[in-house]
Structure 1
């Protein structure tokens, strides 16, 4: 039975049976891949369950030890945000141990069989990571104290980065589907990410959230605006806040992220990646949170996990494997990305295209949609009624839409069904050659709200000739304290994209005022008047390679 929450494809029963097989049990119930892995590993490693005492709690974990005298490099793996805890890493930890690593995977406090309360990568979680290192070095003479790495997915990745910033014994980090700024992940352009927090709460339904954690989640879910206290809570838990410590010690960090990440949107992780000055690498992939790494968690070959292993091999074992030859490796999306193209770049700047400015124009006579043109057009206005959702949405569901996208079945957006009363639409000309979108598109929009607060979401689509489209990127925006009827100029960074729009298709920009993924500051009956006045033009800067 697949686990629920953020890991719908992860089979906890199969991974538990795999652990049993490593301990001497049979392999007949396992997949061919896991059965082969268990049979290969049993003669090379020893697996034992452990309980690590920490401040006010005990962490449930498992220890993989290669047979031999050592010394062996060490990898610590804090588990993801899920009930199954360290079991999620059973296949990957085994592969690392077979290669000569001591591995300790543990369930963070408050989840699964670990005691304590969930602190969302707070100070106690950071202390716990250091306590795990203490436990290893005190009990395993074969553990090399000069070669310690942290490797985690999702929740475990954020904890890994924060421990590395705080503990000088950590020599390398692998952070898969991670976050840079928890505040930006929860609060983008003044807009609260209510669906992502709801997903986290749902996935932690059986966990024990601390009162402060529940308070912070409630604030993001229900408060009209985010307080400084919530900002401070989130910033303390943000690796970006502690980037100077990572830079001071030059900790090598490997990142992976999905283009259409709905839990921790990619831009805030890109900011952390760009801030770090030590050896670093970013693997970008098609999909949503943790979905690009999922096949590796169930024991199948996986590019992301392979690169994470190579990263540790180079920085903990000194292997000359070429993993640092490219800083950025990205899967390029298109409408059906089952077999995406892979691109390598020496750095993020080289991966980013040159901005091409597309001006937002008014509808032609007899038309409803504006245009995306190479020259500005002033004097037009488009009026939207707020508060009604349209078929333009971020996704059907967090995580699950990303799995379908990976399988070549992206969400289809029938752009002809989008109400032009409740949304504004601008369509570009039919492309005569592929448009290679690489980087962060930026939208500048002048609008007049009829009320003091307003919210909207901008979506950029790749539309085929029949009007059916795939999403390239999007971003929300909220203004508060505006003067009704006075123009507001919004400068909005859409989420980064690596996407090829084929010849024969066209770009479509859609703006509507409601999306279930985000909070809504619109007042009942309010309207938005969009325009492009001289001196404050509205345009889209599209980075094209």
Structure 2
């Protein structure tokens, strides 16, 4: 493993138990099951009876050696294989110790490898660039050369960083027959800048989570340029090459089956950019959307605990790589976990979640009404933190949500002298918010360059509130004292607003998760011109 990580290191996967995963891998190789929990020891016995587990090296691009683990069956019969590039963590391939073994027990040959620049792998992290794609293809070569019998079909599976790499390898290598991408990205440019707003907390989390990883100069420069607000066009060009969305035509040409899994309140890779990729895919596809944040819905499965996401990943490969008639052949199916009931709602496609769209107009009295109102102004003071923040901590807040402890906001603490707020009428029945809420507002910025963040909350009768969704917006080119129109897609959601609760819309000039284009103490004046009234569109299921 790597040397000790620096003091400011923060894992993107706080629930992963590196000690337990490494002990499991050791037991798979040595056969010494003492010290493993009984259930895990029994699983290890099954795996060892089915396949031979070894650790070694894969020769990647430029001759760099990549740390890897191989589950190989010795029988000559034909079988499918799975390649698993590691997440953005020094734990490397060991993150897949349990799941790789689970695939092996189902009859697959499996190769899990640590991506370049991390753990014991050589090279420098290329952030899913050409070297990572070449590594994935070399890893597949390595696996095929060691298969005891004919290989029938090939799958690539990854979590987070490994998910992005898996999609890109599939786009470039015609041998790949199916993909499972969990907590992935579709458009890396939108991960770095959302609605022209720098996603600084996400970028900083990637840099600190790299720990002792060796980032390529290009990768480090691209991430640091976002934090320093420089060379935006160059960064987006760098990101485009690393975006599965840019390779979707090739995935569609070959009709590669793609399974995507994502969390609603993703603070690292916001959901909408992955949904955009899902919409563009024309081959077999499936999407699971869950409560939580980056990597959270998958973490339980990585540790060997029950996980609907991993169950679906296994079923996806069983169907598309082995021909199993297991019900996942419905193309475009979406499975949405509802906040906070945790009900699982299947639908035939993403757009089928939304049955109707209700438009609520922003009013001068701070209301959300069915009819537009013009001539009012609501001010937002810039450069001031408010209680209406996205989350307490990137990634970690989502684990609290998964445990049934979503952040509670106190509406009375959101200062109306600093923010602009609009409140709807009490819901007469449960409002099933399903899809992408949209906001259309007009505001005047006294200075050139402006930013605001919009939050949609569920306001309870006792004054407490919970976040439904949000999105930032920045206008960079407009001259001072401009009237600016902002059309914003808030992040997708599946949220039940209970009877008697209200929708609360908040606009704030600053959130520590985002870069701020405002001048300190500047003001934004929101309004609603008659030709283009300001409104919120709520998708209802």
Match of 1:92 among 94, 99, 108: 99
Match of 1:454 among 427, 444, 450: 450
Contact 2:444 2:524 in 1 (8 A): yes
Matched residue, 1:261: 266
Aligned-partner Cα distance in 2 for 1:301–1:343: 19
Aligned-partner Cα distance in 2 for 1:322–1:139: 32
Aligned-partner Cα distance in 2 for 1:33–1:372: 54
- Quote the offset at 1:110 in angstroms: 0.3
Match of 1:351 among 344, 350, 353: 353
- Quote the offset at 1:486 in angstroms: 2.7
Aligned-partner Cα distance in 2 for 1:332–1:139: 40
Matched residue, 1:129: 136
Aligned-partner Cα distance in 2 for 1:138–1:36: 30
Contact 2:286 2:331 in 1 (8 A): yes
Superposition map of 1:35-54 within 5 A: 35-54=41-60
Equivalent position SS for 2:30: coil
Matched residue, 1:142: 149
Matched residue, 2:370: 374
Equivalent position SS for 2:329: helix
Aligned-partner Cα distance in 1 for 2:399–2:197: 26
**Structure 1: runs of 5 or more not aligned:** 364-369
Matched residue, 1:367: none
Equivalent position SS for 1:325: coil
Measured on the aligned residues, the alpha-carbon RMSD in Å equals: 1.5
Matched residue, 2:234: 229
- Quote the offset at 1:31 in angstroms: 3.3
Superposition map of 1:246-395 within 5 A: 246-325=251-330, 327-334=332-339, 337=340, 340-363=342-365, 370-395=366-391
Aligned-partner Cα distance in 1 for 2:150–2:86: 21
**Are 2:215 and 1:203 equivalent residues in the alignment?**
no
- Quote the offset at 1:7 in angstroms: 0.9
Matched residue, 2:188: 182
Match of 1:192 among 198, 204, 208: 198
Superposition map of 1:495-510 within 5 A: 495-510=491-506
Render the CA deviation track for 1:492-543: whole Å, top value 9, x for unaligned: 1100111111101110000101111100000123111111111121000111
Aligned-partner Cα distance in 2 for 1:242–1:276: 10
- The TM-score, its normalising length taken from structure 1, stands at 0.96
Aligned-partner Cα distance in 1 for 2:470–2:130: 33
Aligned-partner Cα distance in 1 for 2:269–2:503: 25
Aligned-partner Cα distance in 1 for 2:310–2:102: 10
Aligned-partner Cα distance in 2 for 1:173–1:333: 25
Deviates more, 1:31-40 or 1:4-13: 31-40
- Per the alignment, do residues 416 and 330 of structure 1 end up closer, same or farther by CA in structure 2, a change over 3 Å counting? farther
Render the CA deviation track for 1:302-346: whole Å, top value 9, x for unaligned: 100010010000011000000133633334433xx3x50111111
Equivalent position SS for 2:273: helix
Render the CA deviation track for 1:242-286: whole Å, top value 9, x for unaligned: 000000011000000000011100000000000010000000000
- Quote the offset at 1:67 in angstroms: 4.2
Superposition map of 1:62-81 within 5 A: 62-81=69-88
Equivalent position SS for 1:51: strand
Aligned-partner Cα distance in 1 for 2:31–2:447: 67
Deviates more, 1:429-438 or 1:323-332: 323-332
Contact 1:33 1:299 in 2 (8 A): no
- Quote the offset at 1:398 in angstroms: 1.1
- Quote the offset at 1:484 in angstroms: 2.3
Contact 1:136 1:143 in 2 (8 A): no
Equivalent position SS for 1:109: coil
**Structure 2: runs of 5 or more not aligned:** none
Deviates more, 1:40-49 or 1:167-176: 40-49
Equivalent position SS for 1:484: coil
Superposition map of 1:463-478 within 5 A: 463-478=459-474
Contact 1:66 1:98 in 2 (8 A): no
- Quote the offset at 1:182 in angstroms: 0.1
Aligned-partner Cα distance in 2 for 1:486–1:201: 36
Aligned-partner Cα distance in 1 for 2:372–2:241: 44
Equivalent position SS for 1:509: strand
Q: How many residue pairs are counted as aligned between the two chains?
A: 534
Render the CA deviation track for 1:354-381: whole Å, top value 9, x for unaligned: 2110000012xxxxxx001111111111
- Quote the offset at 1:481 in angstroms: 2.2
Aligned-partner Cα distance in 2 for 1:487–1:230: 29
**Are 2:393 and 1:397 equivalent residues in the alignment?**
yes
Aligned-partner Cα distance in 2 for 1:4–1:143: 43
Contact 1:462 1:472 in 2 (8 A): yes
Contact 1:437 1:544 in 2 (8 A): yes
Aligned-partner Cα distance in 1 for 2:364–2:150: 67
**Are 2:449 and 1:444 equivalent residues in the alignment?**
no
Aligned-partner Cα distance in 2 for 1:24–1:205: 29
Superposition map of 1:505-516 within 5 A: 505-516=501-512
Deviates more, 1:90-99 or 1:41-50: 41-50
Aligned-partner Cα distance in 1 for 2:150–2:133: 21
**Are 2:284 and 1:243 equivalent residues in the alignment?**
no
Contact 2:73 2:147 in 1 (8 A): no
Equivalent position SS for 1:42: helix
- Quote the offset at 1:4 in angstroms: 4.6
- The TM-score, its normalising length taken from structure 2, stands at 0.96
Render the CA deviation track for 1:104-142: whole Å, top value 9, x for unaligned: 000000000000000000000001111111112223242
